[in-house]
Amino acid sequence: MSKATSMRRGAWFAALIAAGVCACAPAAKRPRVDATADTPELPPHAVEVAYGMWSCERGYLLRHRRCVPEEEVSRDPWVEIFDPSPPPVRDEEAPPRRPPGVPTAMPGFAWSESDFPPRPVVAYPFSLEEPRLSTVIGEPTRYTLPDGKTLYEVARHHGLGINQVAEAFPDFDLVDPPAGETLELPTWWILPESDHRGLVINVPELRIYYFPSPGSVITYPVGLGRDDWQSPIGRFKVVEKTVDPAWLIPESIRAEHIRERGDARSMIAGGDPENPLGRYRLRLNLPLYGIHGTNIPWGIGMEVTHGCVRLYPEDIERLFAMVAVETPGQFLYQPVKVGARGGAIYVEVHPDIYDTRFNHLQEAMRLLAAKGWSKRVDWRLLDQAVEEKRGTPMRVSEDASALREARR
C-alpha cells in the first residue's frame, strides 16, 4: 500500500470515529457549520466529514443539497445522491419489510435502504476430508465499475465489507473509483481454523461464518470493535433473539457519550433511527456483546463498534431467521489463513488490526508445516502474499498438483 493511500484511509477512519460511528452508540451530534463560516459551500446544519464530503447533523436529512429537519421530510420518499449531474430519483417501491424512503447514513450521500435489496442466501460446500480437501469457498466476481458508483455500494451489493475491497484494491479511491475499470471482486474466502460449528467470527478479516450443517457454510461481512473497545476472543452461545430491540446503554458507554458529546440518554427505543442495534439482535452469553444489525450500514468492514458484531440490515435479517437460540460460536483472531482447493494451496492474509505484533510470515509457515504442505509452496508467492496483505486467497503452490505431490 502506498503512503498516500495509507494516509487517505487513515484520515477516513479517523473521520468515522469523530462522527461517532460505533456499535451500541447513537450517531454523534455534530457541531453546526454556518454558511458564513470559512467553508461557505456548506449549508447550515452540515459538517465536513472527509474527502471534501459533508453530512447533515443529527435531526436533519440531505435534500437538494440542503440539510432539512427530519419532520419535514418524514413522508417524502425522495432519494438523493450527492452529485450535481443526476436529478433526484423517486423511490417508488421498496422490497417487503423495508420502509420506503428510510435513508442509510453515508457522508455526502442519502441512499435509501430499498436500493439494497436482500441478496440470495448462498450456502457454500466445503470438505475437510482427503482426498477431496476443499477449504476455499466462493469465486472471484468480475465487475465493471459504472460511472458514479462508490466502492461502498459495490461492496454492499456483493456481500463484502469495505475492508475487503480496500485491501484488494489499495490504490482506488473508495468514493470516486475509475469508471469503466473491470475488477475481480474478492468474493471468495479461506475457511478459518475452527471446529466448523455454529457461528465463527474471524476478527482481523471482519467476517462471520455460519455452519448450518456439516460441509456447508454461509458467510457475511461485519463491523467490529474499534481499537479502544476491541471485540473479544473466545467462545460464546446465543441466548436470546430479539426483533426491534431497545438499547439499554451500558454505564461505561453512557459515560463516554456524556464526556464526548453531552448525551446522557440511558436507553434508545427499538425502531428508533438512532438505535445502533437495527431491527434484529442475537444476544450472546458474553456480557455486553451481541450480533445485530446497524443504523449505519457503511460501517460494515470497519472497526467502529464498542465490541459488538454489526451486519448489513439485509444480512442480519437472513442470519436471524437461520440461527437458533443455544447455537454455539467463537471469536477468533486469525490474520493468516491457509487452505486448499482443486489440488492447489492458498494463503489469505489480513492486516493485524489490533496491532498485536502478529508475525504473518511465521504463522503462515507454521500452518503450512502443520498440514505437511511446506515442500510444495513457492516461497516467492508466499512472500508476496504476506507483504501485500490483500485479504483475498492467493495461490502459493507451484502448480495445481501441489497437494497430490505433497501426499506422496
Task: Name the residues annotated as catalytic.
Answer: 292, 308
Q: Compute the distance between CA of residue 218 and CA of residue 220 in angstroms, rounded to an integer.
A: 7
What contacts 360, CB < 8 A, 6 or more positions away? 335, 336, 349, 352, 386, 389
CB 274 within 8 A of CB 294: no
The closest of 49, 47, 48, 57 to 27, measured between CA atoms, is 57
Q: Residue 139, Cβ neighbours under 10 Å: how many?
A: 11
Q: Compute the distance between CA of residue 338 and CA of residue 5 in angstroms, rounded to an integer.
A: 27
Q: Compute the distance between CA of residue 336 and CA of residue 353 in angstroms, rounded to an integer.
A: 12
CA-angle at 138, arms to 389 and 199, nearest 5°: 85
Q: What is the DSSP code string of 320-341?
A: HHHPPTT-EEEEE--SEEEEEE
CB 204 within 8 A of CB 352: yes
CB 329 within 8 A of CB 283: no
